[in-house]
Structure 1
């Protein structure tokens, strides 16, 4: 399982050596503190309801329609938060007033209600709003019109447990040069009805960890940064057809010594961001593709990433509940052996 050299060396030792090898000025910068630190979102251990509401239709990518029991099961396993990715652009008119299909809005609300009833925090996310990545500013009003209706539907919901993430993984033409201008109509629509509800923003290039270095945010204490972590990508996405034409070849192992060194730097990058901004980001997605990575290796990957980032205090949302990178097996009605333990959770009896 994994790289044989790394197994004999010991990952914890390799990580410590990698950190020690960084230049002293870098370490000093990471160690600095910011007295104005904003309280982080209490994301804790979190799971994505993946491949459910973000395909073109619910469950179209091999997932199953969500059920109330799913959220009861997630809560019983010890997760504190569920992230619910939702595709909105194909359920809403592209012309003002950008009306969302009412049956779709009802369904999303039902699922949010189920999650909240199970005492889970909920991150409600706009996911795969495809046109915004092609022509960001031209789509900004449409995106804002959609968020106005979401804000209206969830007016009066508890602020401490329901949070809004404006858009998933900005990429292509949607980058830091136009991020805030593009999201301004959505942010203003939310703030008109939810002046202090947590709003979450991720950065360019699919919200990879490097995006934190230049991530712009609205000047608002209740805006929270997020990033995604599928590193090293050639390992986590090996053989993934949706990455074509540059599909990572199958057979990549983890962790190598180079992986350990990069992971150490990534942990320090989070500490640097906290020290520089006073805000604590959270990891909105992390996972490894089950089609070409064994369950034992997925368990080892999640354990490694969880333990590496644990000292930073950030919340972490694994991808995903029950379809593609799954943690739960719907057919066998059980959690995949070892994955909960890798996150520090106990499998329910």
Structure 2
């Protein structure tokens, strides 16, 4: 809701009762994607629009008041992906402002430095790009959990290669949309549009998921850190029973090795909720989790 250029561009705006609705359904956490870069000056000191910042604060605090943990995620900073070196100072300045604005929040508010690094924001540039932004966060939030993801849209293979900041309060994330030709079939923003009719649950699909669990387990054994699935899901136009099978199978698989997950999303494109009819219960009721924490 806050990740498009302007709230409401890609679906409806946030309503305060969304937070109570999500909590009542049994969820513990919401991930709040925000396009801060679209609401900030492009020259120093890169000031974020105060009205937009106030709106983000309202949405965040409404979710916290409803009893939810919140992951505040910087999202869709396309300029950073294209030119990490040229945007590095602005990226750090944005985080300096965001971190200072929300330093009064409780410990169950976490910051996510950047959603799905891609393009030129890759293993060769991530450390140099994240370091000043993390330092800007630490200036006002020395102990707050900060989430980092790796290159290539934070796909699972990024766990093997991504640089991890030397910071005890870092949690690593990855996103899981495999098999992509199932989860994104028919999605019009994919070029070329993937053909529809792909079914989930083949022997190859199961082997791919088993392989993913091995990759995550290897990461845990190598680093001593437990990552989490920051996003997983299937496009809303896929038949409901197939979507339900996907959410159930993927969430259960990662939960079986002590890894928590955030389902994407709430109301738009990969929806779990439909305005007018409510929760899609075959999907909602199949989502699994674990009490393991990083």
Q: TM-score, normalised by structure 2?
A: 0.96
Higher relative contact order (CA 8 A, sep 6+): 1
- What's the CA shift for 1:175? 0.2
* RMSD over equivalenced CA pairs, Å: 1.0
1:265-289 per-residue CA deviation (whole Å, 9 max, x = no partner) reads 1011111110100000000000000
Q: Which residue of 2 aligns with 1:257?
A: 203
Q: Which residue of 1 aligns with 2:31?
A: 83
The list of structure 1 runs, each at least 4 consecutive aligned residues, that deviate by more than 4 angstroms after superposition, is none
Q: Which residue of 2 aligns with 1:324?
A: 269
Classify the secondary structure of the residue corresponding to 2:168: coil
* 8 Å contact from structure 2 (residues 36, 75) kept in 1: yes
Gaps of 5+ in 2: 290-294
Q: 1:214 to 1:300 in 2, by over 3 A?
A: same
- What's the CA shift for 1:344? 4.0
Q: 1:124 aligns with which of 53, 72, 81?
A: 72
- What's the CA shift for 1:247? 2.4
Distance in 1 (CA, whole Å) between partners of 2:105 and 2:119 is: 34
Q: Which residue of 1 aligns with 2:58?
A: 110
Q: Which residue of 2 aligns with 1:335?
A: 279
1:181-213 per-residue CA deviation (whole Å, 9 max, x = no partner) reads 011221111000101100000000000001001
Distance in 2 (CA, whole Å) between partners of 1:142 and 1:266 is: 35
Classify the secondary structure of the residue corresponding to 1:263: helix
- Which is further off, 246-255 or 92-101? 246-255
Distance in 1 (CA, whole Å) between partners of 2:131 and 2:252 is: 36
- What's the CA shift for 1:326? 0.5
Gaps of 5+ in 1: 1-51
Distance in 2 (CA, whole Å) between partners of 1:188 and 1:216 is: 16
- Which is further off, 274-283 or 147-156? 147-156
- What's the CA shift for 1:331? 2.2
| The structure with more radius of gyration | 1
Q: 2:89 aligns with which of 118, 135, 141?
A: 141
Q: Which residue of 2 aligns with 1:182?
A: 129
Matched, 1:73 2:21: yes
* 8 Å contact from structure 2 (residues 254, 260) kept in 1: no
Distance in 2 (CA, whole Å) between partners of 1:294 and 1:78 is: 24
Classify the secondary structure of the residue corresponding to 2:118: coil
Matched, 1:309 2:254: yes
Classify the secondary structure of the residue corresponding to 1:253: coil
Distance in 1 (CA, whole Å) between partners of 2:8 and 2:173 is: 25
Q: TM-score, normalised by structure 1?
A: 0.81
Q: Which residue of 2 aligns with 1:299?
A: 244
Equivalent residue runs for 1:278-289 within 5 Å: 278-289=224-235
Equivalent residue runs for 1:150-189 within 5 Å: 150-159=98-107, 161-189=108-136
Classify the secondary structure of the residue corresponding to 2:256: helix
Q: Which residue of 1 aligns with 2:292?
A: none
Distance in 1 (CA, whole Å) between partners of 2:195 and 2:48 is: 41
1:249-268 per-residue CA deviation (whole Å, 9 max, x = no partner) reads 11211111111111101011
Distance in 2 (CA, whole Å) between partners of 1:89 and 1:99 is: 10
1:20-40 per-residue CA deviation (whole Å, 9 max, x = no partner) reads xxxxxxxxxxxxxxxxxxxxx
Equivalent residue runs for 1:263-282 within 5 Å: 263-282=209-228
Distance in 2 (CA, whole Å) between partners of 1:168 and 1:198 is: 15
Equivalent residue runs for 1:2-13 within 5 Å: none
Q: Which residue of 2 aligns with 1:236?
A: 183
* 8 Å contact from structure 2 (residues 252, 288) kept in 1: no
